[in-house]
Amino acid sequence: MKYINKLIDAAMIFVLLSGTVAMAGDSKNVELIKKFDAAWNAHDLEGALAFYHDDAVVITPDGNTLRGKEEIAGWEKSLLAGFHVESTGFREEGSLVSWDFTVHSDFFAGMGVNPVKGTGTAEIVKGKIKSFKPAFDQETTGKLVVSQFFQMYDGGVDFNEMGEKILAPGFMAHFPGQPAMDVEGYKQLGAMFRAGFSGMKHTLESLIAEGEWVAARGTVTASHSGEFQGVPASGKPVKLTFVTFDRVVDGKLAERYVELDALGLMMQIGGIPAPQQVSR
């Protein structure tokens, strides 16, 4: 009997030690994601695609659904330049693996947001990715939405399209000395600026996010090519500074506060005389 008890104790110790060893290492699914990351970091598009099932589905951070390797390849190719990902905090629940990521990419650098941070979730079936959903955290999302707004504005995107994609239904904008504007009022203001200035370009010099709020500071350049505030087109180049404070909710601008060098703008186009230098 004592011999049998010793065998049982030894077997239990072996099981416990075996379990400890298994837990100390990465599971097959976590190892697969790490190898998937390595292919991305090597800028190996074909290597990364090899981790997917042929009918895999990817839901991108902006909500687009990609089905099959051909659609997924187009998305991955756009991100590969300068790409580097670091993944940590792996979690598993059945066939699902979740983790936190930090990504550097030329694509995001072009939007003034680099790196981007968020979480990834993948379903692993028979050693390959069946579905993959990367999602940005709140602060990254806020920065990207603000940057996208300025890019769409400078690109001449129709205001109705901008409103649908960027502005929340209850959006409100605030300018010093002006009543608050809703979506329609803000569209009208944007149309007035576009009518008075061409070649407008916003350059973001800093983006800082905390929770739902994003602070942006930068400069805007343009040519005074049309009437603005009663001042006829002068053809003069203008450059002014701006600061915006935006609240981003569910991936859209819900509220905006704007500080703009309006006095400097009017002086540059000749609407207000520039201060005279005092001779001594």
Residues 102 and 39 both lie in one domain: yes
Indicate if 88 and 106 belong to the same structural domain: yes
Pair (170, 255) in one structural domain? yes
The answer to the question of residue 278 being in a domain is no
Among the candidates 136, 153, 177, a domain finishes at 136
What is the DSSP code string of 208-249? EEETTEEEEEEEEEEEE-S-BTTBPP---EEEEEEEEEEEEE
Query: CATH number of the domain that 198 lies in?
Result: 3.10.450.50
CB 240 within 8 A of CB 260: yes
Q: Residue 198: give the domain boundaries.
A: 140-268
Q: Are residues 108 and 148 in the same domain?
A: no
Q: What phi, psi does 274 have (nearest 5°)?
A: -70, 145
Please indicate, yes or no, whether residues 228 and 180 belong to a single structural domain of this protein: yes
Within-domain flag for 185 = yes
pLDDT at 6 over 80: no
Query: CA 79, 80, 82, 84 torsion: positive or negative?
Result: positive
Q: What value does the mean pLDDT take over residues 162-183?
A: 92
Domain assignment present for residue 19? The answer is: no
89 found inside a domain: yes
Segment 68-86, tens digit of pLDDT: 999 999 999 999 999 999 9
Cα 222–chain centre separation = 26
232 in any annotated domain: yes
Name the DSSP class of 119. Answer: E
- Looking at residue 25, its pLDDT comes to 66
- Count of domains forming the chain: 2
Whether 279 has a pLDDT exceeding 70, the answer reads no
52 domain-assigned: yes
Phi, then psi, of 147 in degrees rounded to 5? -60, -40
Residues in the chain, total: 280
Q: Residue 255: enclosing H or E segment and its boundaries?
A: strand 252-260
Portion of the chain with pLDDT greater than 70, in percent: 89
List pLDDT tens digits, range 223-235: 999 999 999 999 9
Nearest to 260 by CA among 219, 213, 207, 201: 219
Q: What is the mean pLDDT of residues 77-101?
A: 96
**Assigned domain for 35 exists:** yes
Same domain? For 246 and 212 the reply is yes
Task: Write 1-5 long-range contacts (CB < 8 A, 24+).
Answer: none
DSSP class of residue 150? Answer: H
pLDDT at 7 (0 to 100) = 41
Is residue 217 one of the residues assigned to a domain? yes
- 21 pLDDT band, cuts 50/70/90, is very low
Among residues 136, 160, 187, the one where a domain terminates is 136
Of the candidates 232, 226, 220, the residue with the CA atom closest to the CA atom of residue 265: 220
- Name the domain boundary from 136, 171, 187: 136
